[in-house]
């Protein structure tokens, strides 16, 4: 099977089955294994007087190992069946939609339930959130993770096969664990964070295009280009700005981390700020609409290649 054919089947498999709980209760998910590897790297090599070099060399070594595993699986799967399964496992469309939808369902019960649900998908403080803050957090998470969890893995599989998607997932996992500007990780995780920015540069912008194209709201590109750079991340602002512009809501803005309120600029500031479960529902619909556009493009590639 060609790469686009494998990816199209994997996208469908992930959309149908998502993350089967019965399976991952019995065996560790690849993302869990990657996380354990990063933990080991952090505990073993984040010491001494050259933490930046240690972090960079460690990540490069792990990337080589991930690529070698990818090549090995490709050799074991001459017909591509095993590749379809592995790629489906490394995609996160259905699980993302389910986690975001869970916030809307919980928020309809009460603000307290909404806080509990959104705390499962965001890293900011949730204890003092009102309905609008909970909804904004869920919509932002939907947008950012559509890029990180769906578009970027698919993109890197198309570019470099299983080695590409495995290296991407490893780097993205490392960024989420050690890519922070904290005293412990600022130097050690700097290479992982910068490599993650590089690997997400194209997928983040593709994600914005997919979200915009799914509703054919071509005029929102002006807002997306204007507001994407306002985000503290060089990449996350693109899908977030697209989601905000297409839904007509304002995202980002002030929020609290570790008890400290931080004043971030609004994305699509002219949009509605007082949102709730309905807008979360709409963001989930947009996730699937963008996914369908991507699937259509991949199928087209499969036909012509």
Q: What is the pLDDT of residues 232-279, one digit of tens each?
A: 889 999 999 999 999 999 998 877 776 667 788 999 999 999 999 999
For 193-232, give one letter per residue: b (16+ CB within 10 A) or e.
Answer: bebbbebbeebbbbbbbbbbbbbebeebeebbeebbebbe
Question: How is 187-217 classified by DSSP, letter by letter?
Answer: TTTHHHHHHHHHHHHHHHHHHHHHHHHHTT-
State pTM to two decimals.
0.94
Distances (CA, A) of 221 to 5, 51, 97: 30, 41, 24
Sign of CA dihedral 164, 179, 242, 142: positive
Paired tokens of 136: 């904004």
Provide the 3-class DSSP secondary structure of residue 236.
coil
In this structure, of 18-27, 95-104, 227-236, 294-303, the range with the lowest mean pLDDT score is 18-27
Tally of domains in the chain: 1
pLDDT tens, residue by residue, 105-122:
999 999 999 999 999 988
Q: Minimal CA–CA distance to 118: which of 105, 104, 103? A: 103
3-class SS shares of the chain: helix, strand, coil, % to 5: 70, 5, 25
Spatial CA neighbour of 120 closest among 143, 137, 144: 137
Range of the structural domain that residue 290 is part of: 3-304
């Amino acid at each position: 099977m060609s790469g686009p054919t494998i990816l199209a089947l994997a996208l469908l498999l992930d959309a149908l089955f998502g993350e089967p709980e019965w399976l991952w209760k019995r065996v560790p998910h690849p993302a869990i294994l990657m996380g354990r590897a990063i933990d080991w790297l952090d505990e073993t090599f984040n010491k001494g007087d050259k933490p930046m070099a240690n972090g960079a060399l460690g990540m490069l070594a792990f990337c080589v190992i991930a690529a070698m595993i990818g090549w090995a699986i490709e050799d074991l799967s001459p017909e591509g069946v095993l590749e379809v399964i592995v790629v489906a496992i490394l995609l996160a469309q259905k699980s993302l939609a389910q986690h975001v939808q869970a916030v809307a369902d919980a928020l309809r019960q009460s603000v307290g339930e909404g806080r509990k649900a959104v705390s499962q998908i965001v890293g900011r403080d949730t204890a003092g959130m009102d309905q609008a803050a909970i909804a904004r957090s869920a919509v932002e998470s939907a947008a950012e993770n559509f890029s990180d969890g769906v578009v970027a893995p698919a993109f890197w599989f198309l570019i470099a096969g299983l080695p590409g998607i495995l290296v991407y997932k490893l780097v993205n996992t490392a960024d989420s664990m050690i890519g922070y500007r904290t005293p412990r990780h600022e130097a050690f995780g700097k290479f992982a964070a910068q490599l993650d920015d590089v690997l997400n540069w194209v997928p983040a912008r593709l994600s914005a295009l997919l979200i915009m194209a799914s509703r054919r709201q071509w005029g929102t590109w002006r807002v997306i280009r204007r507001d994407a750079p306002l985000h503290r991340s060089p990449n996350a602002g693109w899908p977030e700005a697209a989601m905000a512009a297409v839904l007509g809501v304002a995202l980002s803005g002030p929020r609290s981390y570790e008890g400290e309120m931080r004043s971030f600029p609004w994305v699509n500031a002219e949009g509605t700020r007082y949102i709730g479960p309905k807008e979360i529902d709409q963001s989930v619909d947009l996730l699937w609409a963008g996914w369908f556009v991507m699937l259509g493009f991949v199928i087209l590639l499969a036909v012509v290649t």
